[in-house]
Every structure is written in C-alpha cells, then in structure tokens.
Structure 1
Amino acid sequence: MSDRESRDVHVAIVNYFTAHYLDVLVRQLVADGAASVTILDNSVDDGQWAGLSELAAGLDTVELLRSPRNVGFGAGHNAIARHLGALADDQVLCVLNPDTRMEPGCLRALSDALDEIGADAVVSPVIVTGDPVRPVTWFAGGEIDLRRGVVTHSGYGQQPPPRDGSVFSTGFLSGAVLAATLKVWRTEPFDETLFLYWEDADLALRWAARGVALIVQPRARVWHAEGGSQTDGGRQHGAVYHRYMNRNRTVVLAAHMGLLSLFVGAGAKRTVGQLVAPLRERRWRGGAAECHAALAGLIDGLRAVAVHTAARRAVGRSRRRAHRCSERGDGGEVTTVAVFAPTPSGGHPEYVLKALDGVLDSDDDIRFVWPRRPDLERRFVSDRINQPVAIPAQLPRTDVDTTWRWVSERARPWRRHDMAFCWFLLWRRDIDVVLLEEIQRFTLPLVVGLSRMRGRRVIVRLHNIRRHDYAGSLVDAVDERLTGRGLRMADSVLVHTAGNRRVACAHYGLRCVDVVPHGISVAPAAGSAATGPPTFLFFGEIRQNKGVDILVQGFAKYSGECTLMIAGRSEDSTRARIVDAADRDRRIEWIDGFVAPAAVLELFARARAVVLPYTDFEAQSGVLHMAIEYGVPVIVSDVGALGETVRALGIGLVVAPRDPVALADALTTIEDSRVNGEFRRAIGDAQNSLDWRTIGPTLSSALRGVCASG
C-alpha cells in the first residue's frame, strides 16, 4: 500500500456555542473519509455538551473532549493534538472551524497536496463564503505586512480561482482550515497566550521562519459562514473581537518586528485605525464601549510584551552569569561576540554560519549572538548560536516598483538593518566584541562608533575591498572616504588573502589588517559521477564585471567536446548578450534564475572546470570556494584574490583578464585528462587546509586578540 493510500486525515474542531453548525459538518467529514473527528468543547455549558453528545451518538470516529474552562482557540487545538499523541508523525491533522461546510473530496485533496509538496508543509483549501450556490472568495492565500501590522486575504470577495489549478504558495494561512502532518503541529504548535485572533498569523510567521511551506490547494473547497463562530456576527464586531484583535496584534508584532513598529510610520497609522474601527463600523454613531475594549486590548498587549521582555532578560542574565562561571578555559572568561549579518538567504548567511561553526568547533571560550531577521531561511537557524529576532525585514529590490521608493525604504532609520543592530547593542551589556560580517558602506562610521559604546571592540570583515558597480564615479569617491573612515575606526579589519590586505592598506590607509582565509565544507557527494555530458560551468549572479561576454567569445574559439553551462540570474544589461550567444551557439546552455540547492550537485558533477573570467574584481569569490568544495578545477582571470588563491593552491589555470584567446587556450588545456586529474588531486589537499575546522582557530585568535589588545 502506498504512502498516499495509508495516510489518514484526522480532524480537530474547537466548539464555543457552535453546536448548531456541527450536525451537518460532522456528517460531511465522516462521509468524506475522516479517520477521526475530535471535538473539544470550550463552552462550559451543559446544553452545548448535550447537543454535541447527541450528534456524536452512533458515530464511532467522533470523539468529544470537555474543557473545564474556555481555554481559547489555539490552546484548544493544542490540547487535541496532545490527545492524539499515540498517532504517528506522518498522519495528517486538519484544524477546522465549526462554522464551515466541506465539499466531498476535500480531505483527500488536502492530503494529496502534502504528498505533492512534502511533509514539511501546511496546506489550506480555497475558502468561500456568501451564497452557497454562487459563493465568493473568503480566503485563497494571503500576506502578512509586518510593516503596517495587517493581514490581507488575496481575492477577497471575488470569484474563486479555478478548481483545476496547481497548488501555490502563500505568505499567510487562515486558521479557519489548516492541514499538516502531526510532526509539524507537534514541532510548532499554537501560542497559547494568544487567546483569540492573530494566532494563525503568528503561527504562519514561525512556520515560515522554520522553512515550512505554506500552500493553497485549489481543488479543495470549504464554505465558511464569516463571523459564524463569533457570538455577535456581522460586520459590527463586538467588544471581545476588538479587545483581542488589538492585544494580540501588539504581542505578535512586538515578537516578530519590534514594539517600535506599532508606533512609527505605517504601523502607527494602522494602530490608530484599529482603535477607532468600532466608530467607523457604526458610522460614528455609538461604539464607545467597543473603543474602550480596543484601547484596553492595546494596553494589555503592551503589558504582556513588557512582562515577557522582563522575564526574558532576567533569564538571560542568569544564564550569562552561569555561563561565565562554568565555561572558563585556561582561567580566561568567555568572550561574547555579536555578529551583524542581516541577509536572510543565499550564500552569505551560509558563509557566516559555517565560519561561526568553525570557531565553535575549535573549543575556544567564545559564544556568538547573531541578531537576525524574522525571514532568515530555516537552514541557517542554529541551535548552537543565540539568534534573537531583532532585525526588521525589508522589501527586496525586485518587489519595489521605483528606485526612489527603494531608497525611501532604506532611508528610514527604524527600517534599516544597521540601526536596528545598534539599537540591539544598546540594551545588551554582555557583548565584548562586535563582528560586522556585512557593512552598509555609507553609514559604516556611524555603525562602528555606536558599536564601540560600553568599551566594546569592533572587527570588520571586508569581503569586497571596493564596489565595482560605480567605480570611478562621484559615488565611488564618497564611498571611499566614508568606508575608509569607518574601517580606520575599527579595532581590526579581516580580509581573505595577503593580496587583499595589501590593497586594503594602500586604498584605505589601514594599519591593523588580519588575514583569515575563506573556508570550505567539503560537499557530501563531491566527486560523484555525472549523469550528463561534460561542461564548463559559469555559476552565480551575472553582472557586468563577471566577464560573461569574454567567456562567450573564448568559448567560440574552443573546439573540444565540452558544452558551456551558464547558471545564474542576470542583470538586464547582460541578458541580451547571453540570449544572443545561446541562439548562435547551440553548445551554450543558460539556466536563467536561482538554482535550487538540489540541482547544484548535478551542475558541479558534470563540470570539467568552473570558469570565472571576471574583469573587475577586488574581493574573494564564493563560487571559487564552491568549486573547491565540489572538487572541480578552475580557470580564473588574474583579478582580486582569484589568481593569488589559485596559484597558491595549484587548483587550476590563471589567465589575463579580458583575453578571450588566452581563455580559449585554457579551456583546451584543462580539458586534458592528465592536467585535469593533477588539479583535482591538488584540490584534495586544498580541501584539508581550507576546512572550516582548520580556519576556525584563526578567526578565534583574531576575536581573542582584539580583546587582549584593548
């Protein structure tokens, strides 16, 4: 029997004076094949319990639980999940509002979606409302705007999406209907302090932070009596609604965005709007009691945040005292390092995590605090590192329609990553060293100055010596002046190679620059057999300085058996040239866009060599070190740290920049099996010398040394 056939769907319902809805719903669920239906009665009412007992009579798959008090929506569903503790993790639990009607086949469609996407996902049907014959959309996906503090339902009031559509991802799932494996529910349950409302938004944010996929299944339909599970109903919400809506909005936004977001900018506008919402609903004729409830909810939320913050700080202080007393090595105290690395996805947080793990593996008395954004990819969340959510999320450049709006977003102090980091440091008394793994170049002097408060030492990791995208411009001159000022204010600057150190010292007038090489983690399947024809691989984001046009010209002069694979997202300025080259030469293939991690192994397994024909580059290359991780020789142009690293390790060929003829000769040379084999053997030695566990003590020494020098 297949997994799909054996996967059972269990249904959880929390009742609060809604027994009149459940007679029809429960029979629909039984007919639709629910393995079990568990109803927890929150009503604390004998009449409700009698009605539930009557409808469950004779239905073996229906089980009733009676709560001694009204524990709330989220806590009620958590209680049901605990009650189902004997069930296997791969069984599906569907959380369902009592004021719904489920179409035949809905449970199977939800289970099929989990089979299609994977067990680490949560799925919702399309939820409709209104006339059951001609319903309109109530929920077909949604988004949580943390900046404004508002949740939106996509397509609300419009025609439902087609039933034959594919499952699609979303940023928010309504708590009216949710289906996930019991493993997901047990790992990340509802927050029981959120008695009513916003518990689904909080859960969606925590799921997303863990990397759980949030999806909608169009083939599954559920009708929902909007407001049917509220005692007041209709569009004029009662005092209970306004109290808990304001309270829990405050608690959730404070946890995921910071309390300041409620009272600054768009968040403040929404906060005021929530407080006067009862008056608007009643067209300014009444609603005083509801307004008082809304204000009481806001105050209660602020009180809850203050209590939670005080408790967290008290626990933190006691842990730090215990940590400093118990974790001493050779008579020295533990050094606490705060790390600034706000990027939530891609190669940079992966690099930072591996570098910090390398230090932790060295068994030195160093611990890290890495303030992060709420949307940091789950694979970068580590139980070895303290990673509080203290950096606000920002709209990516691709989601902003104009450059001025993008600049406006970044110019607001309360939205900036670096200012949020400095605000975080202001309240932390346990930080000894600040490690700036990313720099905001124009504000670097301010950030270094604020970071040095309380006598802290500051280290700046300079990955890119200079920006290549505006070299020689007025902006470059301003950048050079401000960046140089910030670097000179720091106690130490870290670069990847001796060549980078010479350039940084000459360009910025630095005196204290330490070399900490770029480390690697050997890929688990490095050197595995390829399943396709051999290629020369260009990998990574394609920009003007990456020399793709030089690569295409050189490859046109190459007559061997390898094809050319270009994999990465391209700027508009280079896109047309790549498309034209691929049209003219069928040996060239282009993967346009982000390459999923699962596909990266295949690309490097097929590669005879990785080619980096950069034209203007004053940094170290992450792609070069990926090639070393996967055991693939390289061809690089002699710019930045590329040529220096390849020559020192003996892992490939170095050519002059902007020379397609030399590049074509290098392609022919490295294709030779004997030459290629020699480079691959040298890569084995390089993997040992650049392992993060080898590099870790070097970074640890730099962190310790800056404290000793102070």
Structure 2
Amino acid sequence: MKLLLIGSEPVDYTIAFANGVAANMPVTLVAPRARFAALRDALDPAVELILLDWPRHRSLANPLFLARLTRLIRQRKPDLIHLLSNTAFWLNLAVPFWRPIPLLTTIHDTRLHPGDRDTATLPAWAPRLMVRQSGDVVVHGEGLRESAALTFHKPVDRIHVLPHPAMPRYGDLARVKGMARRAPDGSFRVLLFGRVFAYKGLDTLLRAEALLGDRVPGLRIVVAGRGDDPMALRDLMGRPECYDIRHRFIEDPEVAQLFLDADLVVLPYREASQSGVLPVAATFGKPVVVTDVGELRASVEPNGTGLVVPPNDPAQLADAIARMAQDDSALRAQCAARARHWAETVVAPRIVGTRAYQLYTRILQRA
C-alpha cells in the first residue's frame, strides 16, 4: 500500500500521526516548508518528508502550488491520500484532479468555536466542501461522529473514529536537552496552555481563582499562548500577582519547560471538539481538570487522568483545583500515573497508527 499524507495544521498532530503510521507501513508526508523544515528531526526516519512552498490563503501563488502538488501525486501514484485537516481552502480546487485515488480527510472540529479567529478566516463553505469531496472522513471520538454526520450530511458508515494520538515530541525534546522540573519553591502551578480564544474559558478560570481565596497556598496560574489578551480580563482576577501571563507564541523548549513545571493542567473550555493539550499533558504525566464539553469527558474519565466539571461553573472548577492541590500524595499521583499509561498505550502514536492502517485497508478493499 502506498500512502500519501498531506498535512499543514495542526503541526504537532501531523508529526505524531505520521510517526505512528510509519511504524506500520511506508509513509510519504507532504507538508509546508516554512513550518516543517526545522522539524524534520521530530519525524521518524521511515517518514519520507516532501516540503513544498505553501502559500497563505489569500496568495495568488496558490494555483501554481496546486499544480505542483497534483503533479507530485500523479508521479507518486499513491493508493490512498489522507488529508490531515479539512481547513486547507485552496486544496478544494485540486481534489477533482486526484481522482480516482480514494481521499480520506480528518475533521478536527465539527463546528467553528466562538472567538476562534484563526479558523474564522476561512469561508464557511470551504471545510464543508472538502468533506463532501472526500469518500471517507476521520473524527476523534464517537460523539464527534454523530456531530459530523449532522453538520456535514455525511453517511455515518463513511465517518470513522481514530483517537487523537499522544504527542511525545516535547517530552522527547526535554530528555534530549536534559531539561528538568524547576526546584520546588512552595508554589502550586496550574497551567492553561494553547490558543487563548473565547471558547477556552479563561474567564471561568479567573473567576475560579478569585473564589479560591487562600484555599491553595502558593497558587500560581500560568496562562501561555497567543490569542486574546488575558490582561483584558484583569478585573476578574482575585489576586493578579499570582498570574504568570505569557501572551505570545511559545517556542518548543519553553513548551517543554511549562509542562515539566506544571502541577496541574486545566482545560476550562466553554466548547470543544477535542484537545491537543490533553495528549501533551499525558506524555508528561500531568493530571488535568477539564470541563464536560466535546470529547474531553470521554478522554479523561474512563482513563482516570483527572477530574471533570461542568462548563461555565467557576465554583466547581475552583473546588476541583483545590482538591487536586490538597490531595498531593493520592489523587494527583494516581491521575499522573494513569495519564502516562494512557499516553503510552491507548493513544500512543504507534497504536493509533495501527488503527489507521487497518482503516486504510478497509477503504481500499471496499474501493
């Protein structure tokens, strides 16, 4: 079987997924030069990486890019093409020229999240058209399967579930660089990481901190990532001095250090499909507190990696953080061990890659 992966975003998912599939079969990955040239070492040597100059959505260079990509596909003659996201606008125009090669597309989000300015730059019809042109699609959970069927009007038997793989590259980076957790200083560090947009529930976390008062001695809340400015919500903070705000793009070594230093990772989301933060936290063996949205409960609760609270409920979020902070020797340690086990078994890239290989085989047999 000759497989061609096309991936631009999300970068960490693309790397983990390609590495997982490469443990089962030869893989060719076509990716943007600007994003992946410096990340070649993060890919398994079994992955053949082909870098192309990938224009921005509004660039007039896109037709030339599509012609080069289509020429590459015709030269390679893959048995199956797997597009690792349905949010590449211009690729819609090239798909008709790839037929009759079967096309499989991964849908990370079945609907636009409130305040997600990145995805909102796409015309609403673009991701829908890509799904319509794909013979089969992949989502990351059973609940998302039903949501995708309703949103994209796709037959359920053409929607397949592959879990989001663990993303060990930051942990690998920490080991290679000999990085270690900072020396204990009496603080309890709570990390909110990623793109800080409205649906991530930052305001809920700030209200929870204000309700905590003195219940968690040494509380330190780290908010790291680009997006909305957290300081615009300063009035919601109980104690502004306990915050470490890093409102910017976070480079890889700093990401690794943030997760090494965290005592707890929180995902207080108002809405979500799934999360790439969970697999990163799990590879570092970090317990989590998440809200019951999208696939977060289904990922956390059965695997015992943390606590689940209702969305938009600062009081219950505060109680969960306090419980994790106070139960230092039991609950937190237990969740940490289970998180690491989950990352190394259920959602390990090689395990997800095996499931993907089995799915590819079924698609080709049907074709």
Structure 2 length as normaliser, TM-score? 0.83
Where do residues 4-153 of structure 1 align in structure 2 (5 Å cutoff)?
Answer: none
Query: Contact 1:434–1:456 at 8 Å: present in 2 too?
Result: yes
- How many Å separate the matches in 2 of 1:698 and 1:418? 31
C-alpha distance after superposition, 1:10-64 (max 9, x if no partner): xxxxxxxxxxxxxxxxxxxxxxxxxxxxxxxxxxxxxxxxxxxxxxxxxxxxxxx
C-alpha distance after superposition, 1:444-474 (max 9, x if no partner): 65343333x2x20100011111121479xxx
Give 1:380's aligned amino acid: R
Q: Which residue of 2 aligns with 1:678?
A: 334
1:507 equivalent to 2:151? Answer: yes
1:463 equivalent to 2:108? Answer: yes
Q: Secondary structure at the match of 1:636?
A: strand
Q: Secondary structure at the match of 1:370?
A: strand
Q: Secondary structure at the match of 2:5?
A: strand
Query: Contact 1:551–1:613 at 8 Å: present in 2 too?
Result: yes
Could you tell me which runs of 5 or more consecutive residues in structure 1 were left unpaired when the two chains were aligned: 1-334, 395-409
- How many Å separate the matches in 1 of 2:188 and 2:122? 45
- CA shift in 2, pair 1:648/1:606, >3 Å: same
Give 1:460's aligned amino acid: T
Give 2:80's aligned amino acid: V
Equivalent pairs counted in the alignment come to 346
Q: Which has the larger radius of gyration?
A: 1
Q: Which of 193, 215, 220 is equivalent to 1:539?
A: 193
1:389 equivalent to 2:51? Answer: yes
Q: Which of 245, 254, 257 is equivalent to 1:599?
A: 254
1:520 equivalent to 2:166? Answer: yes
- How many Å separate the matches in 2 of 1:389 and 1:587? 43
- How many Å separate the matches in 1 of 2:96 and 2:110? 21
Query: Contact 2:191–2:265 at 8 Å: present in 1 too?
Result: yes
Query: Contact 2:83–2:106 at 8 Å: present in 1 too?
Result: yes
Q: Which residue of 1 aligns with 2:242?
A: 587
Q: CA deviation at 1:632?
A: 0.5
Q: Secondary structure at the match of 1:635?
A: strand
C-alpha distance after superposition, 1:644-664 (max 9, x if no partner): 211121111111111111111
Give 2:331's aligned amino acid: V
Q: Which of 387, 412, 423 is equivalent to 2:70?
A: 423
Give 2:303's aligned amino acid: L
Give 1:684's aligned amino acid: R
Query: Contact 1:390–1:424 at 8 Å: present in 2 too?
Result: no
- How many Å separate the matches in 2 of 1:460 and 1:498? 16
Q: Secondary structure at the match of 1:689?
A: coil
Give 1:360's aligned amino acid: A
Could you tell me which runs of 5 or more consecutive residues in structure 2 were left unpaired when the two chains were aligned: none
- How many Å separate the matches in 1 of 2:27 and 2:139? 22
Q: Which residue of 1 aligns with 2:205?
A: 551
Q: Secondary structure at the match of 2:78?
A: coil
- CA shift in 2, pair 1:388/1:675, >3 Å: closer
Q: Secondary structure at the match of 1:387?
A: strand
C-alpha distance after superposition, 1:478-507 (max 9, x if no partner): 72x553343133121111111111211122
- How many Å separate the matches in 2 of 1:521 and 1:440? 21
- CA shift in 2, pair 1:595/1:416, >3 Å: farther
Q: Which of 595, 612, 631 is equivalent to 2:285?
A: 631
Q: Which has the higher contact order (CA 8 A, sep 6+)?
A: 2
Query: Contact 2:225–2:250 at 8 Å: present in 1 too?
Result: yes
Q: CA deviation at 1:550?
A: 1.0
- CA shift in 2, pair 1:499/1:514, >3 Å: same
Q: Which of 85, 99, 106 is equivalent to 1:438?
A: 85
- CA shift in 2, pair 1:421/1:588, >3 Å: farther
Query: Contact 1:340–1:435 at 8 Å: present in 2 too?
Result: yes
Q: CA deviation at 1:355?
A: 1.3
- How many Å separate the matches in 1 of 2:64 and 2:309? 39
- CA shift in 2, pair 1:488/1:368, >3 Å: same
Give 2:258's aligned amino acid: L
Where do residues 401-420 of structure 1 align in structure 2 (5 Å cutoff)?
Answer: 410-415=57-62, 419=66
Q: Which of 3, 16, 21 is equivalent to 1:359?
A: 21
Give 1:432's aligned amino acid: D
- How many Å separate the matches in 2 of 1:466 and 1:635? 23
Query: Contact 1:372–1:387 at 8 Å: present in 2 too?
Result: no
Q: Which of 38, 63, 69 is equivalent to 1:378?
A: 38
1:705 equivalent to 2:362? Answer: yes
Give 1:636's aligned amino acid: V
- CA shift in 2, pair 1:683/1:417, >3 Å: farther
Give 2:7's aligned amino acid: A
Q: CA deviation at 1:375?
A: 5.5
Q: Which residue of 1 aligns with 2:139?
A: 495
- CA shift in 2, pair 1:426/1:652, >3 Å: closer
Give 1:600's aligned amino acid: V
Q: CA deviation at 1:590?
A: 0.9
Give 2:47's aligned amino acid: I
C-alpha distance after superposition, 1:78-117 (max 9, x if no partner): xxxxxxxxxxxxxxxxxxxxxxxxxxxxxxxxxxxxxxxx
Where do residues 204-219 of structure 1 align in structure 2 (5 Å cutoff)?
Answer: none
Q: Which of 293, 302, 310 is equivalent to 1:648?
A: 302
Where do residues 292-331 of structure 1 align in structure 2 (5 Å cutoff)?
Answer: none
- How many Å separate the matches in 1 of 2:85 and 2:67? 14
Give 1:568's aligned amino acid: G
